[in-house]
Structure formats: structure tokens, C-alpha cells
Amino acid sequence: MRRTRIVAGLLCAIAAAAVLAAPVLKAGTEPLNYVDINKIKGEGLQRSQVMDLASWLTDVYAPRLTGSPMSQKAAEWTVAKLKEFGLVNVKIEPWANRNGFERGWTNDKFYLAAVAPEKFPIPGTPTAWTPGTDGLVSGEVVMVTATTEADLAAYKGKLQGKWVLTQAPPDVAAYWKAPATRYTREELDALEAWPAPQPEFGAAPPGGRAGGPGAPAPGAPPAAGRGGMGSMAARNAFFKAEGALGTFTTAPRGHGIYTVGGNRAADPATTLPAIAIGAEYYGRIARMLAKNIPVTIEANIANTFHPDPPVFNIVGELPGTDKTDEIVMLGGHFDTWHAATGATDNSVGVAVMMEAMRILKTSGVKLRRTVRIGLWGGEEQGLIGSREYVAAHFARRQPAPAQAGQPGPPGGRGGIGPQGPLELKPDWDKFSVYFNIDNGTGALRGIYLQGNDAVAPIFREWMEPFRSLGMTTMTIRNTGGTDHLAFDAVGLPGFQFIQDERLQPGDLQKMATIAAGFAYFAANRDEKLPRKPLTVPVAGRPAK
Ligand SMILES: [Zn+2]
């Protein structure tokens, strides 16, 4: 068997040599060193520290809103931990550009309750970068669903000292399905059979989970802080000018779950206290108002702005041997939103990738290439940290001529405006691959090939040792919304795993083991991973 494989490999190499410049794909010849793989599995599955890391990152050093004092404290803990694991060149790396983070923000006190006609507490969370109340305040509630300037004019002079419900109460669907599910065999098969007939952009793909429960209902007003800020900001400015006390929003998910964001560039002069509350409370208040029963709400909310906040990524590495100047990266975003402890988004990715680095170091396996961890800030505000890192170390898109002189990268999640040619740094050629975790938080079930067919035969073989851990599926499909896109955007191989949902200790152990295994394979194969053909011109370099 072994001999046959070697001969087959030689034949492939000879055949490939005759095809000049074609990537050499030697199916069935990835070197799988099962002695090392067993060391990685032993460390990751029998002596795991991943749940301890996850606890520190969620129970103690959370939430980690970008630019908040806690994000800095958590980063210092992370740096110390990575050093303790034996990584080198561990550091907090500030971004070259602030990207609009002029102020950090924290919610330091929160009291919200109805006081008439009945007294009941209202759980909620302030929208980030909004002001608190002026101490203890109280006022009646008004619903204003008007969005146009003309319709809003009807409320002129009627909002002084009032709270504003800014949207109609959503319909909340019952949970007929369990909140946490594993991908079924059928769903995984559907992913592997991609491309299926293309759904509309943003719709849930067949077998996939994009969108999912909690996606905004059609016609819902834009959530504060993420896209569509224009109309929301204009309405809030109107409410503020009219002397309203603050605004309430909710989400159709219900069952006590709501989502909250924020706009780091919100202008304090036109921003009111804004609070996300659960759909059940929102609906109760709205339904009382519909019966012409006045509702009075009391609040005392203290939010603090922190000037010149820290904005950064965290990096550290395990040096390679004979290919030490070549780079394999593992990572995920370090920042979270502020409503909870960020366990599933994305403390799990941070804990798993830190653990993968620990596994690689502690198991003592040889790494030919340098394996580097990157933990990104500002992902939730538009993949900012990873884009900053890629621009600083690997490549950046020059601004399109018309855009030259505009500060900072374009905003928006994955939104890339018109851009010029690629400007490459020396390490662009030294880069092999980046693996990201930020997708659903549960067991790894496979990998998205991100449209890169050439890696399929390689990943197929790399998955084999982890088949028993549930890692079985490859799909040519792209997956978006997170930091591998920052690498993909400049022609570097960047991948995201296919994942189940929810944090489970066994899942996290398997995740870290698989991530360590993939980094190990990438660090040790003879060639760097094949890339997709570049579709953009490269500045100062003839097209290949
Ligand atoms: Zn995330």
C-alpha cells in the first residue's frame, strides 16, 4: 500500500512536470503522519483546556465591545496566556487606522421598569454608543412607526418627555424546532452538492443556516448600528429634537431573546438613550397603548464614553523550522457585542484557536512553517481588525482613483466599494492559508472551500483522520460574514469551517483538535496551499 502510494506520487509528479505552470495536484499523496496526528488528538481530546479558556473569556473577561476598557483587560489576559502556552512574538498590535472608533463605550448601570398602570421590570440592553438617561427619569410611552419626514411631522410638539416605541410589535413565532440542532446527513449532502439553484442573495441556502431564526422580518425597520443607519439616525434626530426621553426597539425572535448593536460614529448631539427590549415586553406595552391605556416607564441608565479607546488585534506564533518564513494562520474575532458574554460569538472561536495553538506546542509536533494566531477586533463593525491586519502584512486594495483621499476602508459587513489594484507586501508570497472560526460555534462538520476547487483534494485527505470526530463534508460554496473574507479579498486562501450550533465541551475539544490538525498539515506539506486565480490587477507586477 505504502509502496503503491509512493510510485503513484512519482508518476503524478512526472506528469505534472510536463504541464508547465499548472498547480501540481497529487491526489492521494498528502503526507499524513499518524504518529503526530495521534499526539494532536491525545492533547486535544484527553488533556483539553478549551472549556477553561472559554470560561475565562466569557465569565471573567467579557463582554469585549471593540474599544471598551474590558477589551483591553481581556487582551492583556490573552497575551499572558499565549505566552504561558509557549508562543513567541505575542503582542497586542494596534490598528494603523482608528476606523471611526473615537470613543469606547460601557453601560455601567441599568434600571428600566413600567410604573403605571402596573409595575413590572423590563429587561433590556442599551444600544452601544448611546447616552444614558439624565439620572432617574419617568415618562409615558408613545408608538411612532412613521418613517418619512412628512409623516413624522404629525408628531411635532407631542413627544416632549415621552418614550418612543419605534416599530410595530413583531409577531413572535413559536419554537416548533429545537433551538439547537446538528446538521443532518441530508443537510450536509445538500451542502456538498453545491452549487444548487442559486437562492436570492441573503436567503438561507439549501441545507445551510444563513439567516435563520431571528433574521429581520420583511419590512422591519433597520436595526440601529448595522446598515440602513440613514433613516434610523434621521428619525432619532427628530425624536431628540422633539425632547423625547429615549427609544425602544425589539426583535421578532422572542422568547426573551433580542439583538442589540450600535453605531460607533453616532453623533451625541442627535442621539437619544436607545434600549433594546424583549418582544414580549415590547408587545405588552404596545398592546396596552392600542387599548388607549397610558403606560409610564421609569429608567436610570448610566453609560460612559471612553476617549481614545484601544483598537487592536492580538497575534502570537509558533516558529517553523525549514520554512519558518512561510505562514499558516488560525484565528477568529476577539470582539463581541455587549448584551451578554459573547460565548457563542465569538468567545468560542478565540478559546478554540488558543487551544489549537496550545495543542500544537504541547504535543511537540514539528512545524515546518510558522503557525500564527490572529484574534481580531472590530469584526462586528465590518471585519475591521482582520482587514487592518491583512493590509498591514499581506496586501491591500489601493483605493479606486475616484475614492483616493477618502479615509479608512469602506464600512459595512463584507461591503467593499470600488477599489483599485492589489498592492502586495513581501509576506503575501509567503502566506499559505488562514482558517477562521466564527460560524455557529458547535462541532466542525466540514469546510467551505470558498470557491477554491484546487484545495478540495487536499482537504479531502486532511479530513480523513478527523472523520470519526464528525468532520466529513466539503462544499465549494462561499460562506461570508466573517474574517476569512479579509484574506480572500486579496487573493489569499482563507477558509471557514462548517459548524453545528451551541457550545458543548465535547464539540469544543473536537474543534480545537481539528483546527490544530489542519494548521499542522498546512505547516508541513511541501507546497503552500493552492490559491484561486487572482481576478484583480496587481500594482507593480505583471499579470501572471
Ligand atoms: Zn462573529
Instruction: Determine the distance separating the centroid of ligand 1 and the alpha carbon of 414, expressed in angstroms.
Output: 13
What is the dihedral angle through the alpha carbons of 514, 516, 518, 519, rounded to the nearest 10 degrees? 160
Element (H, E) at 303: strand 296-307
User: Tell me, what's the pLDDT at 94?
Assistant: 98
Q: Tally the domains of the chain.
A: 3
- Mean pLDDT across the stretch 450-477? 94
Find out whether the peptide bond into 195 is cis, omega within 30 degrees of 0: yes
pLDDT in tens, 297-332: 999 999 999 999 999 999 999 999 999 999 999 999
Amino acid at 250: T
**Residues of the chain with pLDDT > 70: what percent?**
84
Instruction: Determine the distance separating the centroid of ligand 1 and the alpha carbon of 209, expressed in angstroms.
Output: 14
Distance of CA 289 to the CA centre of its chain: 38
The DSSP bridge partners found for residue 299 are: 112, 137
What is the model's pTM?
A: 0.86
Closest C-alpha to 520, from 376, 370, 394? 370
- Mean pLDDT across the stretch 123-131? 97
Domain containing residue 265: CATH number: 3.50.30.30
Cβ pair 129, 103 in contact under 8 A = yes
Is 223 among the domain residues? yes
User: Tell me, what's the pLDDT at 403?
Assistant: 46
Element (H, E) at 2: helix 2-18
- Exposure string for 394-412, b = 16+ CB within 10 A, e = fewer: bbbbbbeeeeeeeeebebe
Quick one: 5 and 20 in the same domain?
yes
Cβ pair 445, 188 in contact under 8 A = yes
Instruction: Determine the distance separating the centroid of ligand 1 and the alpha carbon of 346, expressed in angstroms.
Output: 5
Cβ pair 100, 138 in contact under 8 A = no
Instruction: Determine the distance separating the centroid of ligand 1 and the alpha carbon of 49, expressed in angstroms.
Output: 22
Quick one: 518 and 381 in the same domain?
yes
Quick one: 393 and 278 in the same domain?
no
Find out whether the peptide bond into 346 is cis, omega within 30 degrees of 0: yes
Instruction: Determine the distance separating the centroid of ligand 1 and the alpha carbon of 361, expressed in angstroms.
Output: 26
User: Higher pLDDT residue, 270 or 12?
Assistant: 270
Quick one: 68 and 111 in the same domain?
no
Residues 6+ apart with CB under 8 A from 477: 191, 194, 195, 205, 208, 448, 449, 451
Instruction: Determine the distance separating the centroid of ligand 1 and the alpha carbon of 315, expressed in angstroms.
Output: 18
Quick one: 12 and 48 in the same domain?
no
Looking only at the bridges linking them, the beta strands covering 163-165 and 137-143 are: parallel
Quick one: 375 and 327 in the same domain?
yes
Q: What is the mean pLDDT of the chain?
A: 86
Is 421 among the domain residues? no
Position 480 confidence tier, pLDDT thresholds 50, 70, 90: confident
What gap in Å lies between CA 488 and CA 497, rounded to an integer?
15
User: Higher pLDDT residue, 39 or 268?
Assistant: 39
Instruction: Determine the distance separating the centroid of ligand 1 and the alpha carbon of 335, expressed in angstroms.
Output: 8
What gap in Å lies between CA 208 and CA 214, rounded to an integer?
15
Domain containing residue 52: CATH number: 3.40.630.10
What gap in Å lies between CA 500 and CA 199, rounded to an integer?
22
Is 416 among the domain residues? no
User: Tell me, what's the pLDDT at 432?
Assistant: 98
Instruction: Determine the distance separating the centroid of ligand 1 and the alpha carbon of 334, expressed in angstroms.
Output: 9
Quick one: 498 and 511 in the same domain?
yes
Helices of type H across 320-376: 348-363
Position 100 confidence tier, pLDDT thresholds 50, 70, 90: very high
Instruction: Determine the distance separating the centroid of ligand 1 and the alpha carbon of 241, expressed in angstroms.
Output: 35
Instruction: Determine the distance separating the centroid of ligand 1 and the alpha carbon of 480, expressed in angstroms.
Output: 11
Instruction: Determine the distance separating the centroid of ligand 1 and the alpha carbon of 345, expressed in angstroms.
Output: 5
Instruction: Determine the distance separating the centroid of ligand 1 and the alpha carbon of 122, expressed in angstroms.
Output: 27
Cβ neighbours around 291 below 10 Å, total: 6
Residues 6+ apart with CB under 8 A from 106: 65, 68, 69, 70, 303, 304, 306, 338
Instruction: Output the CA–CA distances (angstroms, integers) from residue 518 to 185, 306, 362, 432, 509, in the order listed.
Output: 23, 40, 16, 12, 14
Instruction: Determine the distance separating the centroid of ligand 1 and the alpha carbon of 18, expressed in angstroms.
Output: 45
Instruction: Determine the distance separating the centroid of ligand 1 and the alpha carbon of 187, expressed in angstroms.
Output: 22
Is 14 among the domain residues? yes
Quick one: 54 and 26 in the same domain?
no
Position 9 confidence tier, pLDDT thresholds 50, 70, 90: very low
Quick one: 91 and 234 in the same domain?
no
Quick one: 136 and 282 in the same domain?
yes
pLDDT in tens, 183-210: 999 999 989 886 654 444 333 433 344 3
Query: Given its phi and psi angles, is residue 490 left (phi above 0), alpha (psi -120 to 50 degrees) or beta?
Result: alpha
Instruction: Determine the distance separating the centroid of ligand 1 and the alpha carbon of 139, expressed in angstroms.
Output: 37
What gap in Å lies between CA 491 and CA 395, rounded to an integer?
9
For the chain, the straight-line distance linking the first and the last C-alpha, in angstroms and rounded, comes to 39
Instruction: Determine the distance separating the centroid of ligand 1 and the alpha carbon of 14, expressed in angstroms.
Output: 45
Quick one: 234 and 358 in the same domain?
no
Domain stop point among 307, 328, 344: 307
Instruction: Determine the distance separating the centroid of ligand 1 and the alpha carbon of 106, expressed in angstroms.
Output: 20
Instruction: Determine the distance separating the centroid of ligand 1 and the alpha carbon of 440, expressed in angstroms.
Output: 9
pLDDT in tens, 356-401: 999 999 999 999 999 999 999 999 999 999 999 999 999 998 877 6
Is 467 among the domain residues? yes
Is 185 among the domain residues? no
What gap in Å lies between CA 353 and CA 315, rounded to an integer?
11
pLDDT above 70 (res 76): yes
**Residues of the chain with pLDDT > 90: what percent?**
70
Cβ pair 455, 523 in contact under 8 A = no
Domain stop point among 254, 273, 307: 307
- Mean pLDDT across the stretch 65-88? 98
Task: Specify the 3-state DSSP secondary structure of 41.
Answer: helix
Query: Helix 456-463 crosses helix 505-524 at what angle (to 10 degrees)?
Result: 130
Instruction: Determine the distance separating the centroid of ligand 1 and the alpha carbon of 458, expressed in angstroms.
Output: 27
Is 414 among the domain residues? no
Quick one: 25 and 47 in the same domain?
no
Instruction: Determine the distance separating the centroid of ligand 1 and the alpha carbon of 349, expressed in angstroms.
Output: 8
What gap in Å lies between CA 23 and CA 31, rounded to an integer?
17
pLDDT above 80 (res 226): no
Instruction: Determine the distance separating the centroid of ligand 1 and the alpha carbon of 183, expressed in angstroms.
Output: 19
Instruction: Determine the distance separating the centroid of ligand 1 and the alpha carbon of 387, expressed in angstroms.
Output: 15
What gap in Å lies between CA 152 and CA 154, rounded to an integer?
5
Is 183 among the domain residues? no
pLDDT above 80 (res 2): no
DSSP per-residue codes, 480-533: -SSTHHHHHTTT--EEEEEEEES--HHHHHHHHHHHHHHHHHHHHSSSPPP-PP
DSSP assignment, residue 194? -
Instruction: Determine the distance separating the centroid of ligand 1 and the alpha carbon of 374, expressed in angstroms.
Output: 14
What gap in Å lies between CA 521 and CA 491, rounded to an integer?
21
Q: What counts of helices (H) and strands (E) characterise the chain?
A: 13, 18
Lowest model confidence (mean pLDDT) among 2-6, 335-339, 409-413: 2-6
What gap in Å lies between CA 241 and CA 244, rounded to an integer?
8
Cβ pair 520, 360 in contact under 8 A = yes
Domain residues for the domain of 368 are 39-101+310-397+430-524
Instruction: Determine the distance separating the centroid of ligand 1 and the alpha carbon of 384, expressed in angstroms.
Output: 12
Residues with CB under 5 A from ligand 1 (ion): 345-346, 438
- Mean pLDDT across the stretch 75-80? 98
Instruction: Determine the distance separating the centroid of ligand 1 and the alpha carbon of 138, expressed in angstroms.
Output: 36
Domain stop point among 307, 329, 349: 307
Half-sphere exposure of 436 (CA within 13 A, CB side): 30
